[in-house]
Structure 1
Amino acid sequence: MLSLLFLAKKKKQTLEESVHLIQQGDKKLNNELIEAYKPFIAKTVSVVCKRYIVASDDEFSIGLIAFNEAIQKYSPERGNSLLSFAEVLIKRRVIDYIRKQAKNPTVSLELQPDIGETEPRGTLIENEISLDEYRKKTDEELRREEIFRFQAHLKEFDLSFQDLVEQAPKHADARKNAIETARLLAENQELKESLFEKKRLPIKQLEELVDVSRKTLERNRKYIIAMTLIMSGDYVYMKDYIKGVLES
């Protein structure tokens, strides 16, 4: 950790710059960064588990792995910071782990009676219901957090949820076309960088890529930008919305 602080002071690196070096193969810096952010990892895992987490807990190990995954997968173009990305990924991986444990009676100790004891069937059912309610509550919290993050992201582009409600294409085919335009934009590195830098839709360049009129692009501008942000970011629940639109 001391070497990490020294390196940061010496080169005045941002966290994102350190991650870039790690992605280029700096394993030593990778280990130092994980060590430095163990308190952050433990705190994030504790939020999901609703209890104090220590290094010996399995959930903490899941958090460490998820944080390392975030380091390797992070890109500034996602539109959020490394820690925001890591927080979402850690919570997602820990929830997946909890769900897997709950489905496996051999490792779900809370659902198993002690050897030699007989636990009433009603108690087991109550535990199952409690776990299901916990999963639903956790999903709701993550969905709410994602909405707040997306709302803040929209604000950077001078957009709001109200804008999307008022200006979203009314017809299903029009929505699908707008989403397809957003997908092409998200996959085009040059155009996506232009969008994130200038905070406006590169309509002229898009005209050359899609079979949509300039008038239609301008009319659906806000919706296309919002869909591009979702596709370029870590918005799990929002992407489900896009999937639903395309499959409808």
Structure 2
Amino acid sequence: MNNELSSIIINLDFGKDKEKVNLLIEDYQPFILNTISNLKNEYIQVENDEEFSIGLMAFNEAMQRYDSNKGSFLSYAKLVITSRIKTFWKNEQKNEYHSIDELEISTLNSISSYEEINLREEVSLFEEELKKFGIDFDDLIDNSPKHIDTRERAMDIAIKTSGKEDLVSHLYEKKRLPITKISERFLVSVKIIKRNKLFIIATIIAIVNNYSSILSWIKDSKKGT
């Protein structure tokens, strides 16, 4: 469904399809409300709620700025809404205290810093997903393969596994890697899979959830020794 939505938005003509744009915004008001409610930790009143108005504008902005390189649309829209709401709060706080020194310096003040926002948000979501599998983010870093060839081999296993629905279902249902099945399916040694299972699981999670920034980090953080 998310992929279908992403495709629809990419093909929108915002000059001509204003009715479609408005209908999409209306259809996804619950998503917008939920995103803001989670940020505020309280229920949002649609009537006379400034954050809700900002959320609607941010969703529209996300539709206009979206392209396929930004991952799934809803993930991107959530980042834009979060950024705009937090910027609003910062400005409100600034007006209250009349001093920039009392504000936390943040890159969330501009959507031009999308990559940093994306990585920060994805890391938070990624950590939550890892916890479901009993994996701590620090343990993942400590146990990730250090040699380039080992890392690339583990990544290849993760990529192949993520493309097989039965293996991914097993992983998510059992919360453990189907090591024997992967070994037999892709003709790789059980030892290699076991030694790198945390890294493989984490990479599969990143692929399945389309955490593009996390995947870039995984690919770029090659440490040759």
TM-score under structure 2 length normalisation: 0.57
Distance 2:30 2:190 in 1: 50
**Residue 149 of structure 1: how far off its partner (Å):** 1.3
Tell me which amino acid in the other structure corresponds to 2:139: D
Do structure 1's residue 144 and structure 2's residue 131 form an aligned pair?
no
**How far does the alpha carbon of each residue in 1:42-101 deviate from its partner, in whole angstroms, 9 at most, with x for none?**
779xxxxxx8563897544235x49xx9xxx98xxxxxxxxxx83x32045679xxxxxx
Q: Label 1:139 to 1:41 Cα distance change in 2 as closer, same or farther (>3 A).
A: same
The match for 2:28 among 29, 34, 56 is 34
* SS of residue matched to 1:208: helix
* SS of residue matched to 2:186: coil
Distance 2:78 2:207 in 1: 20
Unaligned runs of 5+ in 2: 6-23, 39-49, 83-106
RMSD, aligned α-carbons: 4.5
The match for 1:90 among 77, 81, 93 is 77
Do structure 1's residue 169 and structure 2's residue 145 form an aligned pair?
yes
**How far does the alpha carbon of each residue in 1:9-49 deviate from its partner, in whole angstroms, 9 at most, with x for none?**
xxxxxxxxxx79x99xxxxxx887435445346779xxxxx
Distance 1:242 1:31 in 2: 34
Q: Which residue is 1:9 aligned to?
A: none
Q: Which residue is 2:8 aligned to?
A: none
The match for 1:230 among 202, 206, 223 is 206
Conserved 8 A contact 1:151-1:160: yes
Q: Label 1:245 to 1:181 Cα distance change in 2 as closer, same or farther (>3 A).
A: farther
Distance 1:155 1:42 in 2: 24
**Residue 166 of structure 1: how far off its partner (Å):** 2.4
Tell me which amino acid in the other structure corresponds to 1:150: F
The match for 2:215 among 225, 228, 239 is 239
Conserved 8 A contact 1:59-1:94: yes
Identity rate, percent: 26
Distance 1:151 1:139 in 2: 18
* SS of residue matched to 2:28: helix
**How far does the alpha carbon of each residue in 1:117-150 deviate from its partner, in whole angstroms, 9 at most, with x for none?**
xxxxxxxxxxxxxxx9844766544432221211
* SS of residue matched to 1:239: helix
Conserved 8 A contact 2:58-2:80: no
> Based on CA coordinates, which of the two structures has the bigger radius of gyration?
1
**Residue 202 of structure 1: how far off its partner (Å):** 0.6
Q: Which residue is 1:62 aligned to?
A: 61
Conserved 8 A contact 2:144-2:199: yes
The number of residues matched between the two structures is 171
* SS of residue matched to 2:77: helix
